[in-house]
Amino acid sequence: MKILSIQSAVAFGHVGNSAAVFPLQRIGVEVLPVYTVNFSNHTGYGAWRGPMIDPSDVSEVIAGIEDRGVFPQIDVVLSGYQGGEGIGDVIIDTVARVKAANPRAIYSCDPVMGNAKSGCFVAPAIPILLRERVVPVADIITPNQFELGFLTETDPDTIESTLASADLARAMGPSTVLVTSVERPDRETDTIEMMVVTDAGAWIVQTPQLPMKANGSGDVTAALFTAHFTRTGDAADALARTASSVFDLLTKTLESGERELQLVESQEFYANPQMQFTSRQVR
């Protein structure tokens, strides 16, 4: 499998491509990383250095890959955090060209815009761009519950309302919606859930909610789920594998006392998930 991954990059820590590439490689995926920013560290620190890459330069890198005749071999285009408005146009154009070269290729979009605790943390135009232009051309989207609500102009907070919101998102274009954080009032104490909704049904997985905030964990989640689901077509299995791997990654990070994901130290959890969590069908 080959994945063209258009995301941010940081030198220190693990977000964007700096979070997604290694876990994908560890499960046997060939990754072609294209960077949208090249920062010293993620912006959660409040200070960083390095450039936001001009969309024309991002486009040039992708054109160079196309020149090598690789597009017919690409199975997935994956995108995450979009630093500026122009990157969306580059991604949309790239998806069209990859699919023209390989009609079986899919586009997986992580519509990064914010979360319930912090609100939106991207440029004001980005959420509108994602909702109106980017998400409609995606096959898979991986929003958190807050992002799903923005995309569909709803307020999902139960299994039923999250399913309804996911269906609204699927009506926009993508056939598969992975909701990476489902926090419902009636869930068991100190737990969190993920839900996937496809044409074949819907499944949910529940894990303990760890007392931590981990930048980049959503990027790992989107990457692993996309790869597993593309490889097998089994959404329930892909969900369980992803939840198992990411939970162990977060546990190791919490135990380390470090702020940054212990991405390399957790590599065995990607290659051989413990499968300690199972998916439950909810539709």
For the chain, which residues score pLDDT lower than 70? 115-123
pLDDT digits (tens, 9 = 90+) for 169-189: 999 999 999 999 999 988 999
Q: What is the CATH number of the domain that holds 268?
A: 3.40.1190.20
Separation of alpha carbons 217 and 74, rounded Å? 24
pLDDT for the residue numbered 179: 98
- Are the C-beta atoms of residues 262 and 249 closer than 8 Å to each other? yes
Separation of alpha carbons 220 and 226, rounded Å? 10
pLDDT for the residue numbered 213: 86
Long-range pairs for 188-194: beta carbons < 8 A, 24 or more residues apart: 194/221, 194/239, 194/242, 194/243
pLDDT for the residue numbered 121: 65
Separation of alpha carbons 192 and 56, rounded Å? 40
Q: Which domain holds residue 140?
A: 2-281
Q: Which two tokens stand for residue 102?
A: 């390989």
pLDDT for the residue numbered 118: 60
pLDDT for the residue numbered 123: 67
Q: How many domains does the chain have?
A: 1
